[in-house]
Amino acid sequence: MNTTLVRGIASDATWIKHPLACWTGNSHDAGNGIVIRGSRIVELVARGQEPQTLYQHTFDASGHVVLPGLINCHHHFYQTLTRALPAALNKELFPWLQALYPVWANLDDDAIFASTQLALSELLLSGCTTTADHHYVFSSIMPHAIDVQVAAAEAIGNRVTLTRGSMSLGQSAGGLPPDSVVESDAQILSESERLIRAYHDATEESRCQIALAPCSPFSVTPDLMRETAKLAQQKNVLLHTHLGETEDENTFCLKKFGQRPVDYLGDVGWLNDRVWLAHGIHFNDEEVQRLGHACIGVCHCPSSNMLLASGMCCTLDLQKAGAPVGLGVDGSASNDGSNMMQEVRQAMLLQKLRYGAAQFSHLDALAMATQGSARLLHRPELGEIAVGKQADLALFCLDEPRFSGYGDALAALVLCGAHKADYVMVGGEWKVKQGTLLEQDIHEIVARHTHAAKQLTRRLTA
């Protein structure tokens, strides 16, 4: 980093100058850089121009491609502890879950803390400044997992939307999860309300928000879905769940509830713009129109959908119908990585396969991972580079062999497979410099996480 003090100017602003390329996510020209003051962007400097804002520091970005911070809309941090687990390999969703539920039932607070920090670090190092996590496994040895996640997230520095997930429909009642990891509706709703009161920050500068997220139609009761929707409306928080991921889910809903999943959503009061869904693959044309009309968001999870052979999300159809579409890495047991920049490339490739090479570009994939994801999380202050927006930025170098010979710097970032950001800023504060976390030791995080993963599998076999 090249930081220069401009003498005699009483300003704490920083000019990030002369970027190799700067994609703002809009039509604004920031070809000669961005001026940051505090947590916000205060000026875009057009190509060939100089800042009009007084600034005290400069950052030479001439070797960097600058993007808005990437936004991950669906994850399961705890699943980083069960990457490439032999018992779950080469399975589709339902048998995959049934292989993993007994392992996850042994999670404890130490495991949650370690997995949260590891996932957040991996995301941040890939240029992801904001992320949502869907934690839905609770037990007698792990009753307050979200509290642990809040503490873990504060130490890493990403913005987080932590969802209080839930499972209330166990195997004995016709659901998929084992009874050992289901809770009563009263317990779930009480904890949901407590977490909103304790941690939800609705301001533009927010680093932590809470959403409510019953896991899926095959693991919660309709009554819990209805009561959760009512609580979310009362407290003005978002709703999240898995939906439309597999044909097995459609079959389950028809057999259990006598409805397809979207009809079920309507019946339990979830067809509104407070809702965003994970996956959203198996919808018919009429259902796509209903989701779009209700402005329900859909998070595309390409790597997970490919690994579990779930199918391909109809992203462009959903967008055309009016549904916001964002991007997510999903859990690291069905993606086996938490790299948001790599997920951008996966989305581009999979959607080209679905719609044709000319119909989905690298810019479409970047837009999905920034503006689209910001819309899903109702964070209009994020997801693009513009005056007044939060200063969340990801800067990438193109000095690796994989980029040698590139023509278009921005296209190369996606097509050639960028995977690690060089610098990352959240709310005007550098969190990553020269590819290294500033506030935490990644080696200590990995060591703690590795120990927790070994302990988890050891408890399973004890």
Each domain of the chain, given as residue ranges in start order, spans 70-376
Instruction: Give the CA dihedral 184, 185, 188, 192, nearest 10 degrees.
Output: -170
- Residue 445 has what pLDDT? 98
Q: Per-residue b/e over 62-99, b at no fewer than 16 CB within 10 Å?
A: eebbbbbbbbbbbbbbbbbbbbebeebeebebbebbbb
CATH match of 70-376 with 3.40.630.30? no
- Residue 458 has what pLDDT? 79
Tokens for 315?
């992203």
- Quote the pTM value: 0.96
> Reduced to 3 states, what is the DSSP secondary structure of residue 191?
helix
Burial class (CB in 10 A: 0-12, 13-18, 19+), 142: buried
Residue appearing with tokens 């259990």: 256
- Residue 2 has what pLDDT? 42
> Reduced to 3 states, what is the DSSP secondary structure of residue 25?
coil
The span from the CA of 138 to the CA of 265, in Å, is: 24
Residues of the chain with confidence (pLDDT) below 70: 1-11, 459-462
Residue 143: Cβ within 10 Å count: 12
The span from the CA of 76 to the CA of 416, in Å, is: 27
- Residue 284 has what pLDDT? 97
The span from the CA of 423 to the CA of 34, in Å, is: 15
Burial class (CB in 10 A: 0-12, 13-18, 19+), 241: buried
Contacts of 444 (CB under 8 A, 6+ apart): none
Q: pLDDT digit string (tens) for 15-34?
A: 999 999 999 999 999 999 99
Contacts of 284 (CB under 8 A, 6+ apart): none
The span from the CA of 295 to the CA of 318, in Å, is: 10
Handedness of CA 446, 450, 451, 456 (dihedral sign): positive
- Residue 89 has what pLDDT? 93
Quick check: 212 and 240 in contact, CB under 8 A?
yes
Tokens for 173?
């009642």
Residue appearing with tokens 């495991």: 111
Q: Angle 145-156/109-125 helices, nearest 10 degrees?
A: 40
Q: pLDDT digit string (tens) for 133-187?
A: 999 999 888 878 999 999 999 999 999 999 999 999 888 888 888 888 889 999 9
Tokens for 227?
């009561």
Residue 229: Cβ within 10 Å count: 21
Residue appearing with tokens 């991921």: 245
Spell out the SS3 assignment of 104-150: HCCCCHHHHHHHHHHHHHHHHHCCEEEEEEEECCCECCECCHHHHHH
